[in-house]
Structure 1
Amino acid sequence: MSEILNYIKINELISTSGQPSIEQFKEIANNEYEVVINLALHNASNAIENEDKIVTDLNMAYFHIPVNFENPKISDLKLFLNLLQALGANKVWVHCALNYRVSAFMYVYHKYILKSPFENIDLSIFEEWSPPKIWQDLMKVDYEDLYKA
C-alpha cells in the first residue's frame, strides 16, 4: 500500500491517497476495502477512465464527489462528511488526484467527527502542500456553520 501516491492510513477503517492505478485498486480490494470515494474531477491529469466500472468490478462500492480544486464548496465538504458517517463500519478508501482535497476534508472529519486531538492528526501531506486561503478557510469552518450552509 505504501507505493500508492501520498498514502495515509487514518485508522483500521479509513485510508487516503492520491490517484491509485488500476493495479493499485486491485491491491486495495485485496486488502478488504469495501468502498472507494473519489474527490477528484473526472478530467484530472492523472484520472483513470471508467474508474467507477473498474472499482465496482472489484466488488467495491464507488462514490464520486467531484471537488473543484480552485473552488471547493462547503456543500462538497458537507456531502463528504455525511457520506463517511453513513458508511459507518465499512472499510473506506478516499482519494483525489494528490491527496490534497482529501487531506483537507479529513482534517475537518478528524476535528469534528472523530474529535481527534490535534497532535494525533497526520498532517504530513501539508509538508509538501501549503493550502491556499480558500482551502484554509474551508478547514477552519465551524461545525454549526457547516450545517447552516
Structure 2
Amino acid sequence: MRFIALSLIGFFLAVTAAVAELSQARNFYQYSESVLTAGQPTEEQLKSAGAAGVEVVISVVPPSERVYNAKQGDILAKQGIEYIHVPVNWRAPDDASFDAFMAAMDKVGDRKVLVHCWANARASALVYAHRVLSAPDTQPQEFETLRSVWSDVAGYNLDADTTWQNYLADNIARVQ
C-alpha cells in the first residue's frame, strides 16, 4: 500500500513538473483544463507536453516563419500526441485557414489541446473565435481575455490591429 501511495505521489509530482515546464512557453495561457495556448514552445517544452496531459497540439505557425520547428511533429509523435498543423499567415489571414482551424478544434473534442503560434497572438485569437462560436453569450468576457493575452506580448495591441479585429468578426459572423 505504501508503494502505491509513493508511486502516486511521484506520478503527480512528475505531472506537476511537466505542466510547469510547458507553462514556461512564451505567453502561456490556460483557458480551461483542456485548452492551453502559447507562443512557440522550445523542444524541451514540447518534450514535456505528454507528461502534462496534452493529447493534441495544433500549430498555426507557417513553415516560412523563422520560429517554425520542423521537428515538433516527431517530438510529439514519440509521446503519442496528435500533431495538427494549420498554417495561418499573420499579416493576411484567410477564410480557409479559419475554417481549417475550426475543423481541427472540433476534431479535438474534449481532449487536452495546446494551440501555439509564434507569440500566442494568432493562437489565442483563433481559440477566442472557437470559444465564442461554441458559446456566443461568452463573447464579451472572451474578448477581454483575448485583449489581456495580447497585451502580455510586447508590441501587440488588439484594439489597434484592424486586420485581426476584422478577420475575427467577419469569420465569426460568416460561420454562425
Q: Structure 1 length as normaliser, TM-score?
A: 0.88
Q: 1:38: how far off?
A: 0.4
Q: Identify the residue that residue 101 of structure 2 maps to in structure 1.
A: 80
Match of 2:17 in 1: none
Give me the whole-angstrom Cα distance separating, in 2, the residues matched to 1:145 and 1:85.
17
Give the equivalent residue in structure 1 for 2:174: 145
More helix by share: 2
Could you tell me how far 1:22 is from its partner in structure 2? Answer: 0.9
Task: Give identity over the alignment, percent.
Answer: 25
| Superposition deviation, residue 45 in structure 1 | 2.0
**Structural RMSD (CA):** 1.8
8 Å CA contact retained: 2:124, 2:149:
yes
Q: CA deviation at 1:30?
A: 0.7
Give the equivalent residue in structure 1 for 2:88.
67
* Other-structure match for 1:91: 112
Q: What is the CA-CA distance between 1:141 and the residue it aligns to?
A: 2.0
Give, in whole Å, the separation in 2 of the partners of 1:23 and 1:35. Answer: 17
CA distance in 1, matches of 2:173, 2:69: 36
Residue 141 of structure 2 is aligned with which of 112, 116, 119?
119
The Cα of 1:7 is off from its aligned counterpart by 0.4
Shift of 1:52: 1.2
Residue matched to 2:157? 130
Once the two structures are superposed, the pairs formed by residues 27-42 of structure 1 within 5 Å of their partners are 27-42=48-63
Unaligned runs of 5+ in 1: none
**With structure 2 as the length reference, what TM-score do the two structures score?**
0.76
- Number of paired residues? 147
Distance 1:119 1:145 in 2: 21
The structure whose Rg is larger is 2
2:168 is aligned with what amino acid? Answer: M
Residue 68 of structure 1: CA displacement?
A: 1.0
Gaps of 5+ in 2: 1-21
With over 3 angstroms needed to count, the CA separation of the structure-2 counterparts of 1:67 and 1:142, relative to structure 1, is closer
Alpha-carbon contact 2:46-2:72 (below 8 Å) kept: no
Query: Hey, what's the Cα distance between the residues in 1 that align with 2:78 and 2:135?
Result: 31
1:60 partner amino acid: I
Q: Deviations over 1:114-143 (max 9, x none)?
A: 332522552212214124322111111254
The answer (yes or no) to whether the contact 1:8–1:16 under 8 Å persists in 2 is: yes
Match of 2:7 in 1: none
Q: Which has the higher contact order (CA 8 A, sep 6+)?
A: 1
Aligned to 2:46: 25
